[in-house]
Amino acid sequence: MPAPTAVQRAAGVDPASVPAGESGAAIEARALRRDFGDEPVLRDVSLTLEAGATLVVLGPNGAGKSTLLRMLATLLRPTAGELRVLGAELPRRAWRARGRIGYLGHDPLLYRDLTLSEALTFHARLHTLEDPGARIAELLDAVGLARRRGQLVRTLSAGQLQRAAVCRCVLHAPSLLLLDEPGAHLDPAAVETVEPLIGRAAGVTRVVVTHDFEGGLAAADRALALRANGTVAYEGDAAGLSPGDARSIYTGRA
Amino acid sequence: MSAFRTILGKDLRVELRTLQSLPAMALFAVTTFVVFRFGLDRTSLEGSLAAGVLLVTVLFAALLAINRLFVAERDEGGFDAMRLAPIDLSALFAAKVVALFVYLLVLEVVALPVFAAFFLDDATGLLPLAGVLALVNLGLAGTGAVVSTVGAHSRARDLLTPLILLPLLVPLMIAAGGAAEPLLAAGGPSYDEVGKWVGTLALYDLTFLLVGYAVYDFLLED
């Protein structure tokens, strides 16, 4: 069992209560497929990710990266294939994984007519966090939004909203972070600000969707590259995929 | 229970802050009474006509709130947020039912005095009528929360919600009309057959609340 991370210690989470899969893998997918209507979006995706490791997911627009992330987050059901996340077989036992996943998608998942503090408290209560006030104050301080806590979410800028979404994502000290372009709308300073919360330093299993293949590959243990038609172009060690190869997948030459 | 309180608290707080549903419902009800007043060219109503005017107004005012019930969940990622949390999703159903019930209660606090002032010579039936309306509200809230959830996941939601909801509400409206008619009778309320209709209303409410509670998790699955 890994030692509790800084994020888990801060939220009072016992890592013994958040086991990985039976084989020690945080994510196991076999021949995963997802269709929307008759249109296959993701085809024959198989991967294994050990607990504590980082997987970077690369691919051109429409390759199914966000769809894969939503399936891992229990928000979409696979059309076919087997999927196990944090030891829970999906979609049948999705309830076992929910609450242990931190999902940062394209939407911040924050109610716009609540203040930032109210919106995060709402999520903290859904996740039955003890002492949410202290945890929220700590996170807002960490991302430089402490002064904005009383501001309505709808009045935040895109970059502030993304930082707030990062706080929401890690609020409950999840064992698995699913990050869909986490640097979106963030300036370089803000990227550094959120790094301790969602970067490698967070010390939890991570799946990161990014178009920054150089930075993404450098910060990952494993890589999954998808072609525009949703098939797998590469699955393996991140070190085995060069930025040049990744670029050729984007341009359709691989 | 914690999730239920959290979601309900959020809904009531947002409504108090933005006033997106309640003023529209109240304005709609008052305007409808004015239309009936001049459309029917009557200064007093009783019996089935009075019950019909009141219940139709409440029903369509409720539709305004039902259509908006899950707008924030749909547009601001609330459905995803709740599905990511370790909660029983029927807490969302229960919170929405109670929120809608509260909205309807507030609507009736505004609308009933206006209705009485416009149409009733004898307002002694209003107190027992409030009990009937409470059961109507519960039925509207339970059925409305289920149908609104289905509608929220459809592209044709503005069309779909009333198209599914109105047929489902026919038994509720028949029972409500049966219970309200003698309470608004000329010469003061009578209680003939009110018990039968109130029993029907209670049965309808129980059925739809139980069905909603049982199927709600499945409604939210992808």
Residue A235 domain-assigned (yes or no): yes
Q: Enter the ipTM.
A: 0.90
Q: Is B153 on the interface with A (CB under 8 A)?
A: no
The torsion region of residue A159 among left (phi > 0), alpha (psi -120 to 50) and beta comes to: alpha
Cβ–Cβ gap B84/A74 under 8 Å: yes
Residue A1 domain-assigned (yes or no): no
Cβ–Cβ gap A108/B77 under 8 Å: yes
Rounded Cα distance, A53 and A57, in Å: 13
Q: CB contacts < 8 Å between A and B, how many?
A: 71
pLDDT at A46: 95
CATH number at residue A221: 3.40.50.300
Among partner residues A95, A98, A113, which is closest to B17 by beta-carbon distance?
A113
Among partner residues A100, A109, A113, which is closest to B14 by beta-carbon distance?
A113
DSSP letter at A240? G
Rounded Cα distance, A132 and A121, in Å: 6
Q: Is B10 on the interface with A (CB under 8 A)?
A: yes
pLDDT at B1: 61
Q: Which of A57, A59, A54, A58 is nearest to A221 (CA)?
A: A54
Contact map slice: A 135-164 vs B, CB within 8 A? none
Cβ–Cβ gap A128/B2 under 8 Å: yes
Structurally, chain A folds into a number of domains equal to: 1
Residue A135 domain-assigned (yes or no): yes
Q: Is B2 on the interface with A (CB under 8 A)?
A: yes
Expressed as residue numbers, the domain containing A156 is 6-10+20-250
Give per-residue pLDDT as tens, A123-164. Answer: 999 999 988 999 999 999 999 999 999 999 999 999 999 999
- Angle (CA) B154-B218-B10 rounded to 5° is 75
Q: Is A98 on the interface with B (CB under 8 A)?
A: yes
pLDDT band at A7 (very low <50, low <70, confident <90, very high): very low
> How large is the average pLDDT for residues A22-27?
76
Residue A119 domain-assigned (yes or no): yes
Residue B71 has pLDDT above 60, yes or no: yes
pLDDT band at A202 (very low <50, low <70, confident <90, very high): confident
The nearest CA of chain B is from the CA of A92 a distance in Å of: 11
Chain B interface, mutation test: which of A41, A75, A85, A125, most B Cβ atoms within 10 Å?
Answer: A125
Q: Which of A120, A131, A133, A122 is nearest to A163 (CA)?
A: A120
The residues spanned by each domain of chain B are: 2-220
pLDDT band at A247 (very low <50, low <70, confident <90, very high): confident
Q: Among A144-158, B76-90, B180-194, which stretch is predicted with the lowest mean pLDDT?
A: B180-194
Rounded Cα distance, B71 and B136, in Å: 23
The nearest CA of chain B is from the CA of A239 a distance in Å of: 32
Mean pLDDT estimate for chain A: 88
Rounded Cα distance, B41 and A229, in Å: 67
Among partner residues B17, B83, B87, which is closest to A75 by beta-carbon distance?
B83
Q: Is B3 on the interface with A (CB under 8 A)?
A: yes
C-alpha to C-alpha distances, B68 to B3, B45, B72, B152, nearest whole angstrom: 21, 32, 8, 9
Residue A15 domain-assigned (yes or no): no
Chain B interface, mutation test: which of A17, A69, A122, most B Cβ atoms within 10 Å?
Answer: A122
Q: Are the beta carbons of B95 and B4 closer than 8 angstroms?
A: yes
Q: What percent of chain A has pLDDT over 70?
A: 90
pLDDT band at A23 (very low <50, low <70, confident <90, very high): low
Bridge partners, A206 (sequence order): A54, A177
Q: Is A132 on the interface with B (CB under 8 A)?
A: no
Q: What percent of chain A has pLDDT over 90?
A: 74
The nearest CA of chain A is from the CA of B51 a distance in Å of: 38
SS3 label, residue B88: coil
Among partner residues B2, B78, B221, which is closest to A111 by beta-carbon distance?
B78
Give per-residue pLDDT as tens, B113-131. Answer: 999 999 988 888 899 999 9
The nearest CA of chain B is from the CA of A94 a distance in Å of: 9
Give per-residue pLDDT as tens, A44-99. Answer: 999 999 999 999 999 999 999 999 999 999 999 999 999 999 999 988 888 889 99
Bridge partners, A47 (sequence order): A29
φ, ψ of residue A45 to 5 degrees: the values are -95, 125
